[in-house]
Amino acid sequence: MRILITGGAGFIGSAVVRRAIRQGHEVLNLDALTYASCLENLKEVENHKNYSFQQIDIRDKSDVRETLFDYKPNFLINLAAESHVDRSIDSADDVLTTNVIGTYVLLDAFTKYWHENKKNMSYKFHHVSTDEVFGNVENSIRFTEETKYNPKNPYSASKASSDHLVRSWINTYEIPAIITNCSNNYGPYQFPEKLIPVVILNALNNKDIPIYGTGENIRDWIHVDDHADALLLLLEQGKNGETYNIGSNCEMSNLSLVNLICEILDKQLKPIKSFKSNIKFVADRPGHDLHYGIDASKLLNNYSWRPKFDIKKGVEQTVSWYLNNQEWLDNLSNRQGVGVRLGKI
């Protein structure tokens, strides 16, 4: 496959790029290199003959269209997004323009490109989204592909908007496209503003480990490599016009997850007192949904994908990676938001 991947220097995007190159695909990575992007995530593939990179903002119509027509991919995966809820609360400008306008720019360019070239080969536009668009789980019922959208914060609202744009393009212009909605990702190379890397980084620096509210918020957690495998499988085999939920059935409260990380760090580093003593409960962020749970039965029942990581194995691997890659963390130390929780308005 010849794949154009937007946001390929980010956390999930770089995992997909690495996976795609290992599988023998050709990849062009488009990334604006905003604060959370990191080309060091792609050291493994940067000199590979099938990999190329261009620094492009998906909001730039002329650059996007020119690149699409020049590279001539048959698949496009949209992973470019401002994805941090806390930052969207502090300021929604980049979240809205990148996630909504950027998606429109990609759809517009892809539609023109597809109409001019569709007789030559098969094509697909794969829009990657989140389970946060569904809002809070009611009565412990997990989200399905038919669950109504109920976004509760600027980030989830922007992703819901972009999902609706893609569906409108499928219905209006009949473009070949799919949408995937995934649960919380974790794993190596995650920018240290999200929960798991913040816990690890702050523990290593003997700082407070902040947990919102009482820590009872529940999320379904999936290792980023499992997510990347599912995305590439559905890119090739997913049915145009369909939506697929991706999750690994690993629901856990934030407090339980933080305790698990601290226990793994205690075991590996053997501190004088447990890292759990650094846990500090802080004021909850506005609009914080209590419970997300995702039903991935459609994917599991119709395709060969299965998650390889359970939560304990995945978190152990992730903690070990951060401990063995402190230079990667050090190189990010001057960037805004590293090791802190935002979203305080």
Q: What is the pLDDT of residues 147-202, one digit of tens each?
A: 999 999 999 999 999 999 999 999 999 999 999 999 999 999 999 989 999 999 99
Domain tally, the chain? 1
pLDDT confidence of residue 332: 83
Kindly state whether residue 8 falls inside one of the protein's structural domains: yes
Confidence of residue 339 (pLDDT cuts 50, 70, 90): low
**In the predicted structure, residue 20 carries a pLDDT above the cut 90:** yes
Q: Is 322 a catalytic residue?
A: no
Kindly state whether residue 326 falls inside one of the protein's structural domains: no
- Choose the weakest-confidence range: 61-65, 122-126, 232-236, 332-336: 332-336
Amino acid at the residue 110:
F
CATH code, domain carrying 117: 3.40.50.720
Q: Rounded mean pLDDT of 54-80?
A: 98
pLDDT per residue as tens digits for the range 33-65: 998 999 999 999 999 999 999 999 999 999 999
SS3 161: helix
- Give me the DSSP letters along 259-323: HHHHHHHHHHH--SS-GGGGEEEEPPPTT--SB--B--HHHHHHSS------HHHHHHHHHHHHH
pLDDT confidence of residue 337: 61
Q: Is 132 a catalytic residue?
A: yes
Indicate which residue of 26, 57, 82, 131 is catalytic.
131
Confidence of residue 301 (pLDDT cuts 50, 70, 90): very high
pLDDT confidence of residue 122: 87
Confidence of residue 31 (pLDDT cuts 50, 70, 90): very high
**In the predicted structure, residue 208 carries a pLDDT above the cut 70:** yes
pTM score above 0.85: yes
Kindly state whether residue 187 falls inside one of the protein's structural domains: yes
Confidence of residue 89 (pLDDT cuts 50, 70, 90): confident
**In the predicted structure, residue 218 carries a pLDDT above the cut 60:** yes
Indicate which residue of 26, 132, 251, 289 is catalytic.
132
Kindly state whether residue 268 falls inside one of the protein's structural domains: no
pLDDT confidence of residue 10: 97
Kindly state whether residue 165 falls inside one of the protein's structural domains: yes
- Choose the weakest-confidence range: 77-91, 149-163, 201-215, 304-318: 77-91
Roughly what angle, to the nearest 10 degrees, separates helices 311-324 and 254-269? 50
Confidence of residue 344 (pLDDT cuts 50, 70, 90): very low
Higher pLDDT, 187 or 327: 187
Confidence of residue 140 (pLDDT cuts 50, 70, 90): confident
- Give me the DSSP letters along 187-200: STT--TTSHHHHHH
**In the predicted structure, residue 343 carries a pLDDT above the cut 50:** no
Which residues, including other chains, have CB under 8 Å from residue 175's CB and lie 6 or more apart?
107, 110, 111, 114, 125, 169
In percent, how much of the chain has pLDDT > 70? 97
CA–CA gap between residue 45 and residue 36 (Å, rounded): 19
Sheet holding 26-31, edge to edge: 51-55, 26-31, 2-6, 75-78, 124-130, 177-182, 243-246
Kindly state whether residue 258 falls inside one of the protein's structural domains: no
Q: Rounded mean pLDDT of 99-108?
A: 98
Kindly state whether residue 337 falls inside one of the protein's structural domains: no
In which domain, by residue range, is 137 found?
2-191+221-250+290-310
CB 282 within 8 A of CB 211: yes
Indicate which residue of 113, 155, 189, 322 is catalytic.
155
**In the predicted structure, residue 345 carries a pLDDT above the cut 50:** no
The mean pLDDT value of the chain amounts to 94
Q: Is 284 a catalytic residue?
A: no
**In the predicted structure, residue 342 carries a pLDDT above the cut 60:** no
Kindly state whether residue 143 falls inside one of the protein's structural domains: yes
